[in-house]
Amino acid sequence: MSIEVKIPPVGESISSGVVSVWHKKTGDYVEAGEALLTLETDKVSTEITAEKAGTLQTKVDEGQEVKIGEVVATIDDSATAPAEAKSPAPNEAAPAPAAKKTSEKRSPNAEVLSPAVKRLTTEEKVDPAKVTATGKGGRLTKNDVLSHLKSSGEGPATTDDQEKPRAEQKPATAEEKVPSPETSSRFTRKKMSPLRRKIAAQLVMAQQTAAILTTFNECDMTEVMSFRKKAQEKFQAEHGVKLGFMSFFIKAAVEALKEVPSINSRIEGDDFISNHYYDIGIAVGTPRGLVVPVVRDADQKSFADLERDIADYAARARDGKIKIEDLTGGVFTISNGGVYGSLMGTPILNPPQSGILGMHAIQQRPVAIKGDVVVRPMMYLALSYDHRAVDGKEAVTFLIKVKEGIENPTALLLEL
C-alpha cells in the first residue's frame, strides 16, 4: 500500500515553501520518524518525517516550490527493509566496529548533527567524518564544514553563497552551473530564498505603509559595563548563563514603553490599538537571513530569564530550529548592529509595530562631563518610529528614558 507524503501546515500565514533538500532519495528504504526532506518557508525551515516505514518514491525535485497539502512523495509500506538495513547476523558483525571506530576517531559526534550542519553536508556531499570538529564536546559546527570546503577548494562560488545555504538556490542544470573561476562571468544569478523574499517584501511594505522617522541619541556605557564586569562571575555561577548587554536594553526599553505607551501600539486600518503587554522582538542574524524571535512578557522576567531566552533563541535560529510561533506577536523590536561594527544606522520598522530601537558599536570617544573632557565608552542609539502613531516629542522622550536606564543600571532593578 502506498502512503502519500504531504506538506503539512507549518504556520497560519504560510501557504507554500521550497523543498530545500531530500535527505532520502527515490528507492531508499526509510524508517518511521526518519527525516525525508527539509522544507524552507519564508519564515522557518522544518524537517518533514516519514509516518511509516517503507520504500520512498519522490515526486518533486530539490529547489521546487510546493504548496501546503501537496503530495511530494509516496511510501510503499508493503516493502521490507533490505538485508543491509536489517540487524546483521553474529558472523556478519565483525567489520562494523572497526569502521565505526575509525569514524569516531575522526569526529566523535559526526552523527549528532544540527539541522543546519546536516543540510550543508548533504548539499555539498561532505562526509562529516572527514571534517575536523571544533564545537563543544567534539560537535561539528557549520563553520567547520565551511572551513573544510574552503581548504579543499570546494567552497561556494561567491561570497553571497557563504551567507545562505545552496539549497536555497534553484538546482542548476549542466548549463546553469557556476563556471570555474578561470571562466566565470561577471555576476552570478540565482533565485532568492523564500526567507529573503519575505524580508524584502516586509521592508518595502514598511517603507510604503508607514511614515518612518528616526531620532538619535547616545549613551555612556561606563556604568553598565562596570556593573556587568563586577556581577558577571556571580551571575554566571548562579544562573548558568552570561550577563550580556541585550538584557539591559530590553529592561530599559520596557520601562520606556511604559513611560511612552504610544510606541507600544499599532495602526490597523482606521483603528489605533494600544498594547498592554511587553513581548519584545530581538533581531538575530542567521546564515539564511534576519529573523526576529520574540521574548514574551519581558516586563515580568528577570535578567537571568531574559539572557536564557536570548541564548536559546539565537542557538535555535542559527541551527534552523526556530518555530513560527517564536517569531510572531512582538510589540517592539531591538536590533543590535553594533555586533557587526555598525557605528550608526536607521533601522526599518518591523510591521505592524510602531517602533524599533537600534543599538550600535561601543566606541571610546571624548565627551564633556562637568566641564572636563574625558574619554568614555559611548554608543549611538537610534529609534525609528511610525510618525502616524508617535509624535516627535514622544520619540525623543522614549530614547532619553532608554539612555537614563543604561547610564543608571541599578535603577533597572537587576536581580542577581
Q: Which helix (H) or strand (E) holds 376?
A: strand 372-386
Catalytic annotation present for 391:
yes
The residue type at 230: K
**Which of 329, 327, 390, 328 shows the shortest CA–CA distance to 354?**
390
Strand partners, 46: 39
Q: What is the CA radius of gyration of the chain?
A: 25
Alpha-carbon distance of 163 to 308, in angstroms, equals: 26
Please name the residues in contact with 347: beta carbons below 8 A apart, sequence gap of 6 or more: 214, 333, 335, 337, 356, 357, 358, 382, 384
Check: CB of residue 331 under 8 Å from CB of residue 282: no
Which one is catalytic: 61, 160, 297, 391? 391
- Cis peptide bond N-terminal to 352, omega within 30: yes
Pull the grid cell for residue 31.
Answer: 524508517
The CA dihedral of 268, 269, 272, 275, to the nearest 10 degrees, is -10
- State the DSSP code for 137: G
Pull the grid cell for residue 379.
Answer: 554608543
Alpha-carbon distance of 281 to 254, in angstroms, equals: 12
Which one is catalytic: 161, 239, 279, 387? 387
Please name the residues in contact with 292: beta carbons below 8 A apart, sequence gap of 6 or more: 281, 282, 283, 284, 327, 330, 333, 350
Catalytic annotation present for 144:
no
* Residues tagged active-site: 387, 391
